Structure 1
Amino acid sequence: MWCGFDKSRVTIALACMVAASVAASDVAFAARQRNYKPDEFRSVLRGLGYNVKVTKDPLTDEETKKAITQFQTGYKLKVDGKAGPQTQDQAAMIVEILQSNLNTVLKPKTLLPRDQFYSPQLEELVKEYQKQHQLSETGIADLQLRQKLNAEVQAIINERVTKPTAKPTTKPTATPTTKPTATPTATPTTKPTTKPTTKPTTKPTATPTATPTATPTATPEKIN
C-alpha cells in the first residue's frame, strides 16, 4: 500500500494503518524488530522500486544514498541520505502493509509473515500479482503497483462495510402440541354370575312298613 507524498508522515502512518487494519482486522502491525543489515535495507529499497543493487557493503555509496534521499523526500522524513531509525521504521511499515495487502488480495496458502523484510516469498507473490494483472513479472512493488494493490484492498474494505452480513433468521422450531393419550376406559369384565347348581333333592326311599305276621293262637285240644 502506498500513501501520497503530499501528506504529513503522521497522516501517512494513520492512513496506512487504518486501511491495513481493516483489511486484516485481526492483525496488529508490529514495530520494527531490529535494524536492517545493509543488504536487507537495499532489498527493501529495490523491492519498492528504487534503483539500487543488493550488496552487503555499507550504505554509503552514491547510488544507495541517492535512493535513500528519494525515499526520505517522498515520505517527508529528514533528508540526509542515511538509513536512520525513522527511515528504517517507515520502510518497515511499508513492507508490512504490502505483505498484508497481498495476503488480503491473493490469499496465498502460506501467508506472508507481515515483517519488515522484502523476502524471496514476498518477491514471488508480487510476481504472481503482476501475472494476474498482465504486468511485467519483475517482483518489484513499485509505486504504480502499490497504488493498484491499495485500490483493490480499499474496494474489499468498502464491500465489507456496505455489505451487511445477513443474520440468519432463527427458524422457530414447531413445539409439538402434546397429543393427549386416550386414557383407556376400563372395560368391565363381566363377572360370571354363579349359576347355582341344582341341588338334587334327596328322593326319600320308602321305609318299608313291617308287615305284621299273624301270631298263631293256640287251639285248645278237645278232651275225650
Structure 2
Amino acid sequence: MWCGFSKSSAIIAATCLVSTSVLISDSSFAARQRNYTPQQLRAVLHGLGYKVKVSNTPLTDEETKKAIRDFQKGYKLGVDGIAGPKTQDLAADIVQILQANLNVVLKPNPSLPREQFFGPRTEQLIKEYQKKNQLQETGIANLALRQKLNADAKEAIGTPQSPSSPKPTATPTAKPTATPTAKPTATPTAKPTAKPTAKPTVKPTATPTAKPTATPTAAPTATPTTTP
C-alpha cells in the first residue's frame, strides 16, 4: 500500500498524519544531523512506502519528485517536489518514531539507534515485525504497517511490566480432598403393610323361610238338611 494521493487527498492526508503521533511525548529524538544525501532521502521515502528507486543521482527525476510531493501532501507541507529543510526534518522525525516503536515492540538487543537514516538494521527489524505478525516480509514500513506498529507500541507502553514485581511462583498443590462421604443411608423402609383386611363378612343370611303353609282345609261339609 503506497501512501499516495490519487483519490481523496484530504482524507489520506489526515490518515497519514496518524503515523507521527506516537511516542513523541514519551521519547526524545535527536535533531536531524545533516542534510540527506539523495541516496539517503530516497532510502527513507522507499522505506516508508513511497514508490521510488534508491540511487544517488540528483533528486530531479520525475519519479523522485512525485514521491516527495506525495510525502509533502500527506503531511501538509508546501508541495513543491523539492526536499527542503522542513521536508527533511519531518522525514527524520518519522524515521526516529518508527525506530522507537520497533524498540518498544520488539525489544532488540542492542536497541535500534534512533536516527534519521533508514538503514539495513531498521529494514531487518521491520522484516522481523512483519514475520511476527504473519505479514509479507518486505522490510518496508508502509502506512498500514506504521499504524499497526503504533497501536502495538501504545499497548506495550500502556501495560508496563516491572521486572521487580513479584509474580506467584507457587501454584496451589493442595486440592480439596475431603468430599462429603456421609450420604443419607436411611431410606424409609417401613411402608404401610397393613391393608384393610376386614371386609364385611356378615351378610344377611336370614331369608324368609316361613311360607304360608296353612291352606284352608275346612270346606263347608254341612248342607241344609231341613226339608218342608
Partner of 1:6: 14
Partner of 2:186: none
The runs of 4+ residues in structure 1 deviating greater than 3 Å are 163-168
For residue 86 of structure 2, what is the amino acid of its counterpart?
A: Q
Q: Distance in 2 between matches of 1:97 and 1:35?
A: 18
Q: Percent identity?
A: 58
For residue 110 of structure 1, what is the amino acid of its counterpart?
A: P
Q: Distance in 2 between matches of 1:8 and 1:51?
A: 16
Q: Distance in 2 between matches of 1:105 and 1:21?
A: 17
Count of residues paired in the alignment: 156
How far residue 7 of structure 1 moved from its aligned partner, in angstroms, is 8.2
How far residue 8 of structure 1 moved from its aligned partner, in angstroms, is 11
Q: Extract unaligned runs of 5+ from structure 2.
A: 4-11, 167-228
Q: Deviations over 1:154-178 (max 9, x none)?
A: 1122224xx899989xxxxxxxxxx
Q: Is the 8 A contact 1:48 1:142 kept in 2?
A: yes
Partner of 1:108: 108
Indicate how the Cα distance of structure 1 residues 59 and 110 shifts in structure 2: closer, same or farther if over 3 A, else same.
Answer: same
Counterpart check, 1:129 vs 2:129: yes
For residue 62 of structure 2, what is the amino acid of its counterpart?
A: E
Q: Is the 8 A contact 1:96 1:116 kept in 2?
A: yes
For residue 123 of structure 1, what is the amino acid of its counterpart?
A: E
Indicate how the Cα distance of structure 1 residues 132 and 12 shifts in structure 2: closer, same or farther if over 3 A, else same.
Answer: closer
Q: Is the 8 A contact 2:19 2:146 kept in 1?
A: no
Q: Distance in 2 between matches of 1:93 and 1:119?
A: 15
Question: 1:91-106 counterparts in 2 under 5 A?
Answer: 91-106=91-106
Partner of 2:39: 39
How far residue 20 of structure 1 moved from its aligned partner, in angstroms, is 4.0
Q: Distance in 2 between matches of 1:37 and 1:131?
A: 31
Question: Residue 14 of structure 2: SS of its match in structure 1?
Answer: coil
TM-score, normalisation: structure 1: 0.63
Indicate how the Cα distance of structure 1 residues 151 and 83 shifts in structure 2: closer, same or farther if over 3 A, else same.
Answer: same
Partner of 1:197: none
Indicate how the Cα distance of structure 1 residues 12 and 51 shifts in structure 2: closer, same or farther if over 3 A, else same.
Answer: closer
Q: Is the 8 A contact 1:44 1:91 kept in 2?
A: yes
Counterpart check, 1:54 vs 2:87: no
TM-score, normalisation: structure 2: 0.62
Question: Residue 6 of structure 1: SS of its match in structure 2?
Answer: helix
For residue 6 of structure 1, what is the amino acid of its counterpart?
A: A
How far residue 146 of structure 1 moved from its aligned partner, in angstroms, is 0.2
Larger radius of gyration: 1
Q: Is the 8 A contact 2:16 2:143 kept in 1?
A: no
Point out the more displaced range, 101-110 or 40-49. 101-110
